[in-house]
Chain A
Amino acid sequence: MQLTVNGKSYDVNVPSDMPILWVIRDKLGLMGTKFGCGAAQCGACTVHLDGQGIRSCVAPVSRAEGKEIVTIEGLNDTLSKPLMAAWTEIDVPQCGYCQTGQIMAAAVLLRDNNNPTDQDIDNAMSGNICRCATYQRIRKAIHLAAELKKSSS
């Protein structure tokens, strides 16, 4: 099967029902995308499939054929830079395990919405669990990232 991940093309020999998460991690060795629940409940495995945030732990790899997967390792600078800068400034992570998924979910929000309100953040981010409960800082960081993105464009 032909896969495009972070702009690179890969030939993978996996069963078509293998979730994208395990192709990325076990076959391509991209470890930034995390396994949390395997049931689309926590968002730790969030990646972009043709720009849409998806739960890669339940999405079979067959869904990705002919489409573009983007993981935390390949997030474009327009979104990555303000998000990373904001996450750094607010010092968001604790254990850090869910944070790449949080950032991938926030990236979709930020791409589509230059001025996310608290309600927008609730709507976009409530699918992503942080067991350390860094939510308040994630919220602040998203607001800050929106500011940074605007000022750089």
Chain B
Amino acid sequence: MSNAQLIDRRKFIRSTALAAGGLIIAFNVPAGIRTRGVVKEPVLFAPNAFLRIGSDNSVKIILSHCEMGQGIWTSLSMLIAEELDADWKSLQVEHAPADIAYYHTVYATQRTGGSSSLNSEFDRYRKAGATARYLLVQAAANRWKVAPDDCQTANGYVVSGDKKISYGELVTDAMALPAPADIPLKDPKDWKIIGGKIKRLDTQEKIKGTAVFGMDIHFPDLLTVMVARVPVNGATVTGYDEAAALAVPGVRQVVKIPTGVAVLADDFWSAKKGRQALKVQWDLGAAANISSDSLFTEMKARADKGGIVATEEGNVAELFKQSVTKVEVEYFQPFLAQSPMEPLNCTVKLSADKCEIWTGTQTQTDDQHAASEITGLPISQVFIHTCFLGGSFGRRNITRSDFVREAVEVAKASGKLVKTVWTREDDIQGGRYRPAFLHRFKVGLDANGMPVSWDQISVGQSVMTGGPFEKIAVVNGVDTFSIEGMQAVPFIKALKNKKIAVNTPDWPIMIDNWRAVGMSHTIFAMESLIDEMAYAAKKDPVAYRRLLYKDDARLLKVLDLAAEKSSWGTPLPKDHGRGIAAFKACGSYVALVAEVSVPKNGMVKVHKVTCVVDCGTAIQPDGVVAQMEGSVGYGLSAALYSEITFKNGQVQQKNFYNYPILRMNEMPEVNTYIVPGNEPPGGIGEASVGQMMPALTNAMFAVTGKRIRNLPIYKMKMGNA
């Protein structure tokens, strides 16, 4: 009997109520993982969907979430390994297939996003490890005829007195035992792996070039596809030269699909040349009237007009009138592209009875449904092989799975095994952008400089409308992500006179998630404004924030520590200055201090960024540090340079030469301090992107006295593209 059959027979369906977020999930083992990738055919013990222990002592972690750089390949594995007392060096990790067993405990689809992986899996993954350990101990105790309490575990062994046996030797016995209904978890003081100095598990393959990204999928009969995509949202194809494309050596087929015209070829280069030869003609449609200048004017007009009220309390107009100091400001932030290093791609193998997809994705369930919808196949016949994501920052977490859908359309129309590859230009011009936002404020301060009235209108497209979270995120017409994090700020909550409204244009511009989503723009507005309030109140920006944040102990702590570690208030060389920003994002508290210099008529140089983070339990501290460093770079890039602009409906930026990304010579020294904490883990991948932008501009203000209210700081001079 093969091991696969052995495992099949066991039918490891053990319904439990272990899920963290209240969603009850069958702890079963999906069919897809039972038979894959076993070389020496060891007996595999699969106590739940997340773990397989082999008779060869192998330990395989099956990740319900995707690895896109944020480090869950390692940190989620640590949760299981901790409770299992696994030998860390024996761990292997793989992405899970698309299956209900891997649904997010809160989102109820298989999805990675919202910096939620560690928080949502904190209990489920630990329990997955603890359950396996319990069964292995039980198996050893039975074999030795001792009480389970007399057994200890460490590094993949069960030990009792002078007896010692490896997990691998126990798997067959353990498989026959019933799983416990519930299982206690270790006291955090007994943790050996969580919180420890653990290195990433994916480093070796990534530096040797053997890590498999979606772009690296290859089959002998695979055709590379390049799509001539609509240049303007809503445009339609009116003609193209199929013969010219087919005349290019290496081009095999041309098919029309809903998003444009696809050229299938032997390789990338032929596909690219074939696409150039197509010379597609378009009816650009109504969206061809869009230009950034007119959008900006419209946003201001919308702010004048007002919007739907999210919060209203007291008498804002009266209190503003009575206030001693008035701060009236507005902040503008542009459309942004995520631009992950790995351009989008998706491989699809479609046959009469099944559809297989290889890609880097954050949304396996959505992708499965999209493919099912297009092909007519049942969802159970759509298989998603999640590859490493060469970055994402939200681009691979898109409503309606745009790039997967397109690849499936090509496979269906052509009947071929296809891999769509986007060029950098396709990525930047065919984006799903962070929406542009205008936040306008009228804040009244009392004689002490403290706010007594708050009037805010935020203008920008709704990211959540039409998406999977619309029902939760859009409340009475207000997309809460348009003002994400703002209403939750304790001093805003406590204010007796306030009005926060949103005005939501319905433009035909494709927008979606961008790292930190709403907080990619709300934190810039808030923390710039608070800086302006501090100066208006003639108070030091840190001292002023201490007063404002007095009811938020964790925020206060990161603020104070950031001030201390950055030597806030101590003298600096000429033309140097410091700026601070502190905000709670994704369950974590982050304060950043930027130290910059701004020479006369020169470019700002960011010398140093001090970062203090309280993310509760830091599972893999060095991973937290890495995310803080990366977010500093990501936020700086956006604040300094990034801007997507439209002219005649078309995106004007094309490649990194006019959508610049921060480079080595511009990266500041980043010093990160983690506040020790034992609260459940907060998010880290998006927790400090937003703070970087105001920390930078606040520091520039400290040097120049000039307030930057529009991003990016350096606008690229665009030609008439």
Contact = CB atoms under 8 A, between A and B. Distances in A.
Interface of A: 14-15, 18-19, 22, 25-27, 29, 31-39, 41-42, 44, 71-73, 83-84, 87-88, 91-100, 103, 121-123, 125-139
B626 A126 contact: no
B616 interface: no
A58 B231 CA distance: 24
Contact of B209 (A15, A33, A91, A136): A33
A35 to B, nearest CB: 6
B392 to A, nearest CB: 8
A22 B268 CA distance: 7
B210 A32 contact: yes
A18 B667 CA distance: 34
Interface of B: 68-71, 199-200, 202-213, 215-216, 218, 224, 249, 266-269, 339-343, 388-393, 421, 423-425, 622, 626-627, 629-634, 636-637, 655-657, 661-665, 667, 669-670
Given A26-B266, A38-B424, 16 more contacts: A31-B209, A35-B343, A36-B424, A38-B423, A41-B657, A72-B208, A91-B199, A91-B203, A94-B69, A94-B71, A95-B390, A97-B341, A127-B663, A131-B339, A132-B341, A135-B662
Contacts of B664: 121-122, 125-126, 128, 135, 138-139
Given A32-B209, A122-B665, A139-B664, A37 B630 contact: no
A130 B390 CA distance: 10
A140 to B, nearest CB: 11
Contacts of B388: 95-97
B208 to A, nearest CB: 7
Contact of A92 (B203, B425, B655, B669): B203
Nearest to A93: B206
Given A34-B390, A93-B200, A95-B389, A129 B630 contact: no
Most central of B208, B622, B669 by chain A CB within 10 Å: B208
Given A36-B341, A136-B629, A103 B207 contact: yes
A39 B424 contact: yes
A17 B72 CA distance: 41
A28 to B, nearest CB: 11
Contacts of A32: 208-210
B665 A133 contact: no
Contact of B343 (A36, A92, A125): A36
Contact of A132 (B208, B218, B630, B655): B630
Which of B207, B213, B656, B667 gathers the greatest number of chain A CB atoms within 10 Å? Answer: B207
A93 B629 CA distance: 12
A97 B207 contact: no
8 contacts: A15-B249, A22-B268, A22-B269, A27-B267, A94-B391, A97-B391, A100-B209, A133-B632
Contacts of B204: 88
Contacts of B200: 91, 93
B207 A99 contact: yes
A137 B670 CA distance: 10
Contacts of B667: 133, 135-136, 139
B323 to A, nearest CB: 41
Which 7 A/B pairs are nearest by Cβ-Cβ distance?
A32-B209, A133-B633, A96-B206, A97-B390, A95-B69, A94-B69, A135-B667
Given A15-B249, A44-B341, A137 B626 contact: yes
A29 B203 contact: no
Given A72-B208, A96-B69, A31 B203 contact: no
B340 A126 contact: no
Contacts of A73: 208-209
Nearest to B655: A39
Given A32-B208, A88-B203, A125-B664, A97 B626 contact: no
Contacts of B205: 96
Contacts, number: 186
A87 B207 contact: yes
Nearest to A15: B249
Contact of B391 (A88, A126, A131): A131
Nearest to B622: A91
A149 B362 CA distance: 40
Nearest to B667: A135
Contacts of B633: 130, 132-133, 135
Contacts of B663: 126-129, 135
B656 A37 contact: yes
B655 A133 contact: no
A137 B629 contact: yes
Contacts of B266: 26
A18 B266 CA distance: 13
Nearest to B672: A136
Contacts of B208: 32, 72-73, 84, 100
A139 B629 CA distance: 13
Contacts of A39: 424, 655-657
Nearest to B620: A91
A37 B210 CA distance: 20
Contacts of A31: 209-210, 212, 215-216, 218
Nearest to B391: A95
Given A26-B267, A34-B390, A36-B424, A88 B207 contact: yes
B207 A26 contact: no
A121 B342 CA distance: 24
Nearest to A94: B69
A45 to B, nearest CB: 11
A31 to B, nearest CB: 4
Contacts of B207: 83-84, 87-88, 92-93, 96, 99-100, 103
A14 B205 CA distance: 30
A134 B213 contact: no
A131 B689 CA distance: 13
B94 to A, nearest CB: 16
Contacts of B269: 14-15, 18-19, 22, 26
A90 to B, nearest CB: 9
A33 B392 CA distance: 19
Contacts of A25: 268
B341 A133 contact: no
Contacts of B343: 35-36
Nearest to A83: B207
Contacts of A42: 341, 424, 656, 661
Contacts of A18: 267, 269
A139 B389 CA distance: 24
Contacts of A136: 629, 667, 669-670
A136 B608 CA distance: 11
A135 B666 CA distance: 9
A41 B655 contact: yes
Among A14, A15, A96, residue most surrounded by chain B Cβ atoms (within 10 Å): A96
A72 B210 CA distance: 10
A101 B248 CA distance: 31
- Residue of B215, B216, B390 with most partner-chain A CB within 10 A: B390
Contacts of B425: 38
